[in-house]
């Protein structure tokens, strides 16, 4: 049975190598990075309508777990273990102290360099499906966590129509 976000017990983890991390937002905006990952474990299979969990070990905590939607997968069959996520570097104001606090997962990921290794879980299904009819009308409504899942779906539909 495929794990879901609700039933995830983080029992299966994978090591992912960061192949590339590049800023995709202008320097006048908040930082958004496209991070390309490679998982060499043949059991890991990822699709555009899925997300992965990123596990970060922290002092005082067993781990910090955050989910990121798959933004792009490699179209080459020989590179199926490669995929990208988009990460917005987040900072917030602490309601008690009024101080700016760095988001744990987003800053951790945005600070990683090519060759670094991270621990991931999943992949997990998202509620978005690509319609079988390439000419179907589509209405996309975000869940409140951004539009990254739509980016992958739109790119997949575009690439499929071209071939």
Residue 148, pLDDT above cutoff 60: yes
CATH number belonging to domain 13-162: 2.40.30.10
Structural domain boundaries of the chain?
13-162
How does DSSP assign 2-68, residue by residue? ---TTT-----EEEEEEEEEEE-S-TTS--EEEEEEE---TT----TTEEEEEEEEETTEEEEEEEE
Assess contact for 59 and 67: CB atoms under 8 A: no
CA–CA distances in Å: residue 95 to residues 55, 56, 99: 26, 24, 8
Assess contact for 37 and 53: CB atoms under 8 A: no
CA–CA distances in Å: residue 42 to residues 4, 13, 72, 145: 20, 13, 19, 30
Beta partners for residue 118, in sequence order: 16
- When mean pLDDT is compared across 36-45, 83-92, 135-144, the lowest value belongs to 135-144
Residue 47 pLDDT: 81
pLDDT 10s digits, 74-104: 766 656 689 999 999 998 898 899 998 898 8
Assess contact for 55 and 10: CB atoms under 8 A: yes
Residue 46 pLDDT: 85
Instruction: Give the separation between CA 145 and CA 19, rounded to whole angstroms.
Output: 25
Q: Confidence band (pLDDT; 50, 70, 90) for 143? A: low
96 φ/ψ angles, rounded to the nearest 5 degrees: -90, -50
Distance of CA 25 to the CA centre of its chain: 16
pTM: 0.78
């Amino acid at each position: 049975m495929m794990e879901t976000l609700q039933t995830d017990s983080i029992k299966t983890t994978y090591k992912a190598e960061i192949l590339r991390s590049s800023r995709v937002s202008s320097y006048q905006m908040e930082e958004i990075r496209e991070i390309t990952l490679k998982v060499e474990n043949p059991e890991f299979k990822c699709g555009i309508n899925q997300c992965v969990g990123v596990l970060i070990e922290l002092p005082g905590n067993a781990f910090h777990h955050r989910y990121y939607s798959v933004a792009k997968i490699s179209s080459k069959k020989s590179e199926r273990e490669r995929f990208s996520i988009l990460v917005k570097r987040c900072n917030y104001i602490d309601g008690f102290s009024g101080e700016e606090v760095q988001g744990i997962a987003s800053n951790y990921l945005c600070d990683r360099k090519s060759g670094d290794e991270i621990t991931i879980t999943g992949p997990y299904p998202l509620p978005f499906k690509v319609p079988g009819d390439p000419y179907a009308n589509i209405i996309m409504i975000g869940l409140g966590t951004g539009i990254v899942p739509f980016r992958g779906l739109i790119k997949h539909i575009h690439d499929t129509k071209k071939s």
